[in-house]
Amino acid sequence: MNKRSIHYLIFSCIVFLVVPIYLHSQEATSIAGHWEGTIDVPGAKLEILIDFNQKPDSSWEGKISIPAQNAKNLPLNNISFVNKEASFAIGGVPGEPTFKGTVSENGTKISGDFTQGGQSFTFSLSREVSPKIKAKKALAGFDEIVERGLKELNVPGAAVAIVKDDEIILAKGYGLRDVENKIPMTADTLLAIGSASKAFTTFAMGVLVDEGKLDWEKPVRNYIPWFRLYDTFTSERLTPRDLVTHRSGLPRHDLSWYNNYEATREEFVRRLAYLKPSADLRQKFQYNNLMFLTAGYLVEVLTDKKWEDAIRTHVFKPLGMERTNFSVEDSQKDADFALPYREREGKIEKIPFRNISNIGPAGSINSSVNEMGHWLLVHLNGGKFEGEQIIGPLTLQDMHLAHMPTGGTPAIPEVTPADYGLGWFVDTYRGHRRFHHGGNIDGFSAMVSMLPRDGVGFVVLVNKNGSALTELLIRHASDLVLELEHKDWIGEAAKEKTAGEEVQKEARQKKLTRRKPGTKPAHELEEYTGDYFHPGYGNLKVFLKNGEILFTYNGITTPLEHWHYETFSGKRADDPTFEDMKLTFRTDVNGYVADLEAPFEPTLDAMVFDKKPNARLFDPAYLQQFVGKYQLATQTLTISLKGNSLTLYIPGSEELDLVPQVGDEFILEQVKIVSLRFKLDAEGNVVALELFQPDGVYEAKRVND
């Protein structure tokens, strides 16, 4: 066996064994503790990290890690320490890889020979401070950083957990979870994690991949045969991996689901067929919550369980996340939960909880940092938690790899542009590879971040929406643990926040300059009222109340003010979702208000909601009054009722279907340029029908039977 082969054998034999172990500090004369050193393999020094622990029965256990190979916690056995002589072996590996060495008089060094397959190499180890103890000491002063961040960025409270290797080294609450009652935040306080929920969905999908129930690369249609998108090509080729890497071609379309508590997940998936894309499949990164909802629905199809039950089975239960839930309504039943806040004109104000359980697979999970610490541990330890393999290590590694470039450019030199994995953003922070995901929903912000090669993970949850404090605290903690040069991230952000508020204030003062003065609506306000519909977005209602025009969409009611011409602007309301949004009404060729344009997706043209005909035009009881004969010159026209629709028969032609329209009119389905309307007298009796054709209006008198 040549030297190159021996070198490879050492690498390959060590990489594939993993067992957990526990560390304790011991006396200097014992080998218990943490050691770092090298094996002098041909042409290189192979860095190794070793931990020994003496159990109560005096026997030993140990583990070895090799950073260069990303191998962690590999088992050691046959550990012996007698008269300054130490020996130990890597179990279950061909060639009996064994270390034999002498411990120095002061107990700080071990040096000797490593043998395998008849070949021998020297090794040396030095006693070092445990990385976990070192990391804990490095966090001295972190509390002051958090408190400063809360104050300077105007955040009510924060909860933080930090993991090093296989241990949670910090879990703590700061500030207040309830400002009005001055109740402090704790490590057990439940807060919304928003889009950080996405990685839980991909984790459950990964378990299904391990079980052979899902293939990342097979089309979604293999599992949901009726699945359809706006684009036929994409419908046939979209895969589960595409669903969770934001490369479907669809932009966000978030208002289609936001605050919608009526549509089921299946209905949301079926509506995708009517939502326009803005790019081709895999052409560009476009963040999309609906694709993750679809991924969650796919989990439901494959497991025959609700997404929530599948996540409990495959993630929460094995990780001991007992209080973590899927709805802010459930959080409020707990003894320790945070209230949601926002900043408005410099002041913190409490806002209502936003229940987003409908979009659950993309963002509805609520948790505490104590339980989120378990989530960090399983990702940092190859899919293992407390000795149990929850997910395959290669499947987990696949989630952390870059699968789709986001196309971003560097905002700051310390952070590289991010790519996207499977439910995770992937980038480099000050030269250290990391994967992370944030979350923002009404009143809450979150960030989960891990540096896998450094064995460090962070989670920061705060009870204020749109807060940058989550990422900033993780940067500060990373700098401390990794012993990087200090940078005042919070101080810089506070200055940017102040400058941004001034710019925003000035911009708001100028918004009236975009308004055309001296205009008025083309119709009476009553004519704008009614029900409007878009097949991908659902229903929108416009109505009058106390002489004011308002609209309701997905349960959110917003008053409108006339802006100019046929455009109305959203006024301030309890729910600010549609504040300052401009809705434009369109008139059809007959002068009726027929459509409403709403800019619900910023990357596309406004969504067009068609005004629905009056509901009574579909009611057989109402339509019955029009049935009968009508005389037009020498022709007798016949109106009949079939089911809930009317037909028109003109002698010498086929029977024509009447389709209800706005303005209480009907068009002829077979001759769409012709429409008709029934005439009523002062007592409400039907006396005639009018046929509207391009060349004129023809009146047919009703004939008494």
Give the CATH number for residue 646. 2.40.128.50
Rounded Cα distance, 543 and 530, in Å:
6
Q: Among 372, 533, 383, which Cα is nearest to 439's?
A: 372
For residue 172, the cross-strand partners are 160
Q: What is the mean pLDDT of residues 382-411?
A: 95
Q: What's the pLDDT at 434?
A: 97
Rounded Cα distance, 347 and 422, in Å:
38
Q: What is the mean pLDDT of residues 680-694?
A: 94
Q: Among 436, 334, 418, which Cα is nearest to 379's?
A: 436
Residue 174: CB atoms within 10 Å: 24
3-state DSSP percent of the chain in helix, strand and coil, to 5: 30, 35, 35
Is it the case that residue 6 has pLDDT exceeding 70?
A: no
Alpha carbon 166 to its chain centroid, in Å, reads: 26
Place of tokens 């009236």: 512
Q: What is the mean pLDDT of residues 7-32?
A: 44
Instruction: Name the pLDDT band for 67 (thresholds 50, 70, 90).
Output: confident
Domain tally for the chain?
A: 4
Using CB atoms within 10 A of its CB, is residue 26 exposed (0-12), middle (13-18) or buried (19+)? middle
Domain boundary among 436, 469, 502: 502
Residues 494 and 547 placed together within one structural domain of the fold: no
Residues 625 and 608 placed together within one structural domain of the fold: no
Specify the higher pLDDT residue, 448 or 704: 448
Q: What is the mean pLDDT of residues 645-655?
A: 93
Domain that holds residue 18: 3-128
Residues 273 and 318 placed together within one structural domain of the fold: yes
Please indicate, yes or no, if residue 603 is contained in any of the structural domains: yes
Residues 589 and 453 placed together within one structural domain of the fold: no
Q: At what angle do helices 489-509 and 469-481 cross, to 10 degrees?
A: 160
Query: First CA to last CA across the chain, in angstroms?
Result: 109
- What is the pairing mode between strands 71-82 and 556-564? unpaired
Residues 261 and 222 placed together within one structural domain of the fold: yes
Check: CB of residue 227 under 8 Å from CB of residue 218: no
**Average pLDDT over the chain, rounded to an integer:** 93
Q: How many CA atoms lie within 13 A of 703 on its CB side?
A: 14
Residues 414 and 358 placed together within one structural domain of the fold: yes
Is it the case that residue 314 has pLDDT exceeding 60?
A: yes
Q: What's the pLDDT at 705?
A: 66
Please indicate, yes or no, if residue 111 is contained in any of the structural domains: yes
Please indicate, yes or no, if residue 515 is contained in any of the structural domains: no
Check: CB of residue 276 under 8 Å from CB of residue 288: no
553-590 pLDDT, tens digit per residue, is: 999 999 999 999 999 999 999 899 999 999 999 999 89
Q: Among 224, 157, 148, 181, which Cα is nearest to 492's?
A: 148
Q: Look up residue 415 and give its DSSP letter.
A: B
Is it the case that residue 10 has pLDDT exceeding 80?
A: no
Q: Among 483, 595, 411, 456, which Cα is nearest to 163's?
A: 456
Residues 624 and 607 placed together within one structural domain of the fold: no
Residues 289 and 144 placed together within one structural domain of the fold: yes
What is the H or E stretch that residue 8 is in?
A: helix 3-15
Q: Which amino acid is present at 520?
A: K
Q: What is the pTM of this model?
A: 0.88
Please indicate, yes or no, if residue 435 is contained in any of the structural domains: yes
Is it the case that residue 217 has pLDDT exceeding 60?
A: yes
Q: Which amino acid is present at 231?
A: D
Q: How many CA atoms lie within 13 A of 247 on its CB side?
A: 22
Please indicate, yes or no, if residue 514 is contained in any of the structural domains: no
Q: What's the pLDDT at 508?
A: 83
- The pair of three-digit structure tokens given for residue 540, joined into one six-digit string: 């929108």
Is it the case that residue 7 has pLDDT exceeding 90?
A: no
Q: What is the mean pLDDT of residues 486-503?
A: 91
Residues 292 and 184 placed together within one structural domain of the fold: yes
Secondary structure of 293-348 in HEC code, one letter for each residue: HHHHHHHHHHHCCCHHHHHHHHHHHHHCCCCCECCHHHHCCCCCECCCEEEECCEE
Check: CB of residue 700 under 8 Å from CB of residue 687: no
Rounded Cα distance, 649 and 667, in Å:
14
Please indicate, yes or no, if residue 83 is contained in any of the structural domains: yes
What CATH number did the domain enclosing 185 receive?
3.40.710.10
Residues 443 and 539 placed together within one structural domain of the fold: no
Residue 130: CB atoms within 10 Å: 17
Sign of CA dihedral 267, 273, 278, 284: positive
What CATH number did the domain enclosing 119 receive?
2.40.128.120
For residue 464, the cross-strand partners are none
Q: What is the mean pLDDT of residues 297-318?
A: 98
Check: CB of residue 645 under 8 Å from CB of residue 622: no
Check: CB of residue 339 under 8 Å from CB of residue 350: yes
Q: What's the pLDDT at 24?
A: 36
Please indicate, yes or no, if residue 28 is contained in any of the structural domains: yes
Instruction: Name the pLDDT band for 22 (thresholds 50, 70, 90).
Output: very low
Residues 482 and 587 placed together within one structural domain of the fold: no
421 phi and psi angles, rounded to 5 deg: -95, -135
Check: CB of residue 201 under 8 Å from CB of residue 362: yes
**Buried-state track 350-365, b at ≥16 Cβ within 10 A, e below 16:** ebebbebbbbbbbbbb
Residues 565 and 630 placed together within one structural domain of the fold: no
Check: CB of residue 377 under 8 Å from CB of residue 369: no
Please indicate, yes or no, if residue 539 is contained in any of the structural domains: yes
- The pair of three-digit structure tokens given for residue 120, joined into one six-digit string: 């021998």
Percent of the chain with pLDDT over 90: 87
